[in-house]
């Protein structure tokens, strides 16, 4: 028999309220309320789920409910149409669906630096770097 490639799945259901630190491997689905630090791989805050965390460190987080606090996502942060995210966000990729709300201080980090070449962007424009306005 072959080895099964199974991923852990944890669910915090609608009627469950947790205060404290959570550490998980695999996928964590939050339908209830969590107050405290979260560390894990993939975290999904379902519609109706609420998280208040000053220290969330994950690979990927999808917000369909409400998140308040600080989150660091090494891969991606996705805010669904029903999601609300407020606080401080640090991620590699940021996706906000139409209708999703993002009220946060955002830091997007990439693994490769922007290169100035033929396709120079507005960020490379010295007038913008000096704070001057450019009409399009």
pLDDT score recorded for residue 120: 42
Beta-strand (E) ranges in the chain?
Answer: 9-12, 17-19, 22-23, 27-30, 33-35, 38-45, 50-63, 66-79, 84-96, 101-108
pLDDT score recorded for residue 7: 76
Range name among 4-8, 65-69, 116-120 with the lowest pLDDT average: 116-120
User: Where do the domains of the chain lie?
Assistant: 7-107
Give the Å distances, CA to CA, from 122 to 35, 95, 102, 130. Answer: 41, 21, 24, 12
Q: What is the pTM of this model?
A: 0.76
Range name among 96-100, 116-120, 128-132 with the lowest pLDDT average: 116-120
Distance, in Å, from the CA atom of 66 to the CA atom of 50, rounded to the nearest integer, reads 5
Rounded to an integer, what is the distance from CA 102 to the centroid of its chain? Answer: 10
**pLDDT (tens digit, 9 = 90+) per residue, 64-114?**
999 999 999 999 999 999 999 999 999 999 999 999 999 999 998 875 443
pLDDT score recorded for residue 109: 84
How high is the mean pLDDT of the chain?
83
Range name among 42-46, 62-66, 91-95, 124-128 with the lowest pLDDT average: 124-128
- Do 20 and 3 meet the contact criterion of CB atoms below 8 Å apart? no
Q: Say whether pLDDT at 44 is over 50.
A: yes
- Do 61 and 80 meet the contact criterion of CB atoms below 8 Å apart? no
Closest CA to 94 of 83, 106, 84, 105: 106
């Amino acid at each position: 028999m072959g080895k099964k490639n199974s991923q852990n799945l944890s669910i915090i259901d609608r009627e469950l309220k947790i205060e404290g630190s959570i550490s998980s491997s695999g996928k964590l689905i939050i339908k209830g309320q969590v107050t405290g630090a979260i560390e894990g791989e993939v975290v999904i805050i379902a519609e109706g789920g609420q998280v208040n965390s000053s220290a969330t460190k994950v690979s990927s987080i999808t917000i369909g409910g409400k998140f308040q606090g600080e989150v660091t996502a090494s891969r991606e942060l996705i805010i669904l149409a029903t999601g609300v995210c407020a606080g401080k966000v640090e991620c590699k990729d940021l996706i906000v669906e139409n209708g999703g709300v993002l009220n946060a201080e955002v830091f997007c980090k990439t693994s490769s630096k922007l290169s100035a070449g033929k396709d120079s962007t507005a960020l490379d424009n010295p007038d913008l770097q000096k704070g001057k306005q450019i009409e399009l």
